[in-house]
Amino acid sequence: MKIDNQYGRNIKALFLMMGMLGVAAPPNLASAADYEIVIENHRFIPSQLEVTADEKHRLIVINKDATAEEFESYELNREKIVAGHSRITVFLSPMEAGTYPFFGEFNEETAQGRLIVK
């Protein structure tokens, strides 16, 4: 499809410059599966989540509590703060089968969970 307007030329120039600078185009996340985890009363709901091995995943972590919490996992190599009454997105690359625990650092006694990859 030929683009004859200024906008189209600007987009073409942007991608050409990205290629020249060695900047990769944004990853295709359309193939990532979405999963929601809710933080409520300082607990992860669900506390156990099953996902498929060797696929990309996108975790949407929704904090319904008024206070901040931290989604943390040593095994997933992730650490993100979720402000009160807000949400974050955690992108996960394809993983091997196994169990990957996560926890809320600010309420570690109650905020426990695990991702089970099958």
pLDDT of amino acid 32 = 78
19 lies in some domain: no
Q: What is the DSSP letter of 55?
A: S
Residue-wise pLDDT tens digits, 54-88: 999 999 999 999 999 999 999 999 999 999 999 99
Whether residue 28 has pLDDT greater than 90: no
Residue 31 or 100, more confident: 100
Q: Would you say the C-alpha torsion 41, 80, 28, 33 has a positive or negative sign?
A: negative
Residues of the chain with pLDDT > 90, as a percent, come to 72
Whether residue 107 has pLDDT greater than 70: yes
Whether residue 94 has pLDDT greater than 80: yes
Range of the domain at 91: 33-117
Q: 3-state class of 57 per DSSP? A: strand
78 lies in some domain: yes
101 lies in some domain: yes
1 lies in some domain: no
* Average of per-residue pLDDT across 22-28: 50
75 lies in some domain: yes
Domain CATH code at residue 42 = 2.60.40.420
C-alpha to C-alpha distance for 62 and 86, rounded to whole angstroms:
6
3-state secondary structure labels for all residues of 77-100: CEEEEECCCEEEEEEECCCCCEEE
pLDDT of amino acid 13 = 64
Residue-wise pLDDT tens digits, 38-55: 999 999 999 999 999 999
7 lies in some domain: no
Whether residue 34 has pLDDT greater than 90: yes
State how many domains the chain has. 1
